[in-house]
Structure 1
């Protein structure tokens, strides 16, 4: 991994992280129905910037040493008291399917509340890798950094996995706890709510 460096992202990175998030999830069956591709990067960048200062939030990034481009990142939350900062309230861009967006957010919040605690558990909120850099072990590199802290503190880690991301999470020790179903114009999309016990090794 000498061609890559792993470090903590800064708030000035959030526009680039938002663009990366749009690229990484451009064909995701939920996100491709939400809003036009051209506006996804700025919207997700603003969301990432909003959450950056929340209690417990940490963003890890992987940078290509040769190009200085951020090619992967993870948005994670360490156990911390729930702060009083309001939810992200920026108006969705023109062309957004607001009903699907709100339904998706509500499903994620409800499942997290059912299975995990912000005060007690670690939470993997976003993990994405640039399409040109996938299958190079970058996702595992980010997870290893995050899970080292969770295991050190003997804490559980919760996430909601896409079908594409689930195999990596299983290898890292997560197990399914419930299906999360989001209704989209293209039909229902199933994500897996998953929990990892401290020190779990996976398959």
Structure 2
């Protein structure tokens, strides 16, 4: 069961979205996104994810890297991730998925709230610094706990170590073990009330930081 890690080509975007849906469909926060996608006429959360990733590719930003892990025996994509090298002088909230359009209570509101939480975290812990941000990590349920997700986390950690940069992310409970394994530490928690998006409950997002190898987290 050997795995291979390679860049995700644009032709693999539909497969990425399908993998993301398989991994996330039962997650309450994902259901909230599905609710918003339907309100926006996108049909499904999977269609929303495919659209967002395609827009990322069309931007052609060399600092945004999407990767996949493939089972060499079957050729199946078993896990995937998106890393983003965030640089100095960047205005938090300027990217489409981090802003609300027209003040409408819809899809952008979900991502605006995520973006606001991320922006506050950045400003508090590493304002003006360059970092590697793990934007998304998904592993197909039948391939979980076999090391594929860990390969994708390790890729970004190695990049950050080579450049002497911090890594950061927002984690759900499901990802804590793999992130902790690679040296991430929880430094802040934020609660999201999902009821405005048609889902009962509260989602806790954990802000995590990984310092360059050999350094500890410092405020």
Return the alpha-carbon distance in structure 2 between the equivalents of residues 99 and 123 of structure 1: 27
* TM-score, length-scaled by structure 1: 0.83
CA-atom RMSD in angstroms: 2.7
Divergent runs of 4+, >3 A:
79-83, 98-104
Normalized per residue, the structure richer in helix is: 2
Give, in angstroms, the shift of residue 55 of structure 1.
4.4
User: Is the 8 Å Cα contact of residues 19 and 78 (structure 2) preserved in structure 1?
Assistant: yes
Query: Are residues 1:69 and 2:79 paired?
Result: no
Of stretches 50-59 and 190-199 in structure 1, the one that deviates more from structure 2 is 50-59
> What's the offset of the Cα at 1:183?
1.2
Secondary structure of 2:86 counterpart = coil
For residue 34 of structure 1, what is the aligned residue in structure 2? 33
Q: Secondary structure at the match of 2:173?
A: coil
Residues in 2 aligned to 1:184 and 1:107: alpha-carbon distance in whole angstroms? 11
Aligned to 1:108: 114
**1:42 deviation in Å?**
2.1
Q: TM-score, normalised by structure 2?
A: 0.78
Shift in alpha-carbon separation, 1:86–1:137, aligned structure 2, 3 A: closer
CA distance 1:35–1:118, shift in 2 (3 Å):
farther
| CA distance in 2 between partners of 1:33 and 1:80 (Å) | 30
- Equivalent positions of 1:19-168 (< 5 A) are 19-35=18-34, 39-52=44-57, 53-80=60-87, 82=90, 87=96, 99=105, 101-116=107-122, 120-168=130-178
Structure 2 unmatched runs, 5+:
99-103
Residue correspondences, number: 192
1:86 Cα shift? 5.6
Contact 1:172 1:201 in 2 (8 A): no
Write the deviation string for residues 133-185 of structure 1: whole angstroms up to 9, x where unpaired. 00101111111111101011110111000011112211211111211221112
